[in-house]
Amino acid sequence: MLKIFTTQLIGRLKKIEDSAEFSLEDAARLLAQALVGEGHIYLYGDKEMKGVYHEASQGQEPLAKLKELTPESVHELHPADRVIVFTRYANDEEALKIGHALAEKDIPFVAVSSHALQPNPAADKDLSTIADVFIPLHVEKGLVPTETGGRTGYPHLICALYVYHNIKLLIDEILEESE
């Protein structure tokens, strides 16, 4: 099982790299706008995705001008602010509410999630259609088959941290070039 999980995980990370190269660069440019201007970068992560916020705020190389975004703090955002939303699936109800609120306030944002296999009947759109930049995690199902025919091993957070670190490296590169 360990080899299967590792092989599948590496495959997902490679798929993100191959399919999202330009989206990662677009995300970094969008977020860097807040850092060179008067804004802040707000990060929303629910459930296990709060781990991305903890890495971004308290990791070895914290992201400058970072604030945590909560559903209650959306009203505090200013036009110079930028947002990145991490969630398991693009049709997550709370993340969609935040995405719609950001769109209404004309706050540019990046969304990072997997596409949902089952649509949310309460939502006519998902984050991939309303975000300025969308980066798919490609974790629509578990990576390891089980003996009962199901699947297990959903590395949403690992893939999200991979995306975060790529964006952070690109932001740092952009800021170095602008100095």
All structural domains of the chain, each given as residue ranges with its CATH number in brackets, are 2-178 (3.40.50.10490)
pLDDT at 173: 97
Q: Across all residues in the chain, what is the average pLDDT? A: 95
pLDDT at 112: 99
Residue 149 pLDDT > 70: yes
Residue 5 pLDDT > 90: yes
Cβ atoms of 153 and 144 within 8 Å: the answer is yes
pLDDT at 121: 66
pLDDT at 116: 84
Cβ atoms of 104 and 79 within 8 Å: the answer is no
Beta bridge partners of 110: 84, 133
Largest CA distance in the chain: 57
Distances (CA, A) of 169 to 60, 133, 176: 13, 17, 11
Band of pLDDT at residue 118, cut at 50, 70 and 90: confident
128-150 average pLDDT score: 96
147-168 average pLDDT score: 97
d(CA 77, CA 45): 17
Band of pLDDT at residue 123, cut at 50, 70 and 90: low
d(CA 170, CA 159): 17
Band of pLDDT at residue 94, cut at 50, 70 and 90: very high
73-89 average pLDDT score: 97
d(CA 68, CA 52): 11
86-100 average pLDDT score: 95
pLDDT tens track for 15-67:
999 999 999 999 999 999 999 999 999 999 999 999 999 999 999 999 999 99
137-152 average pLDDT score: 95
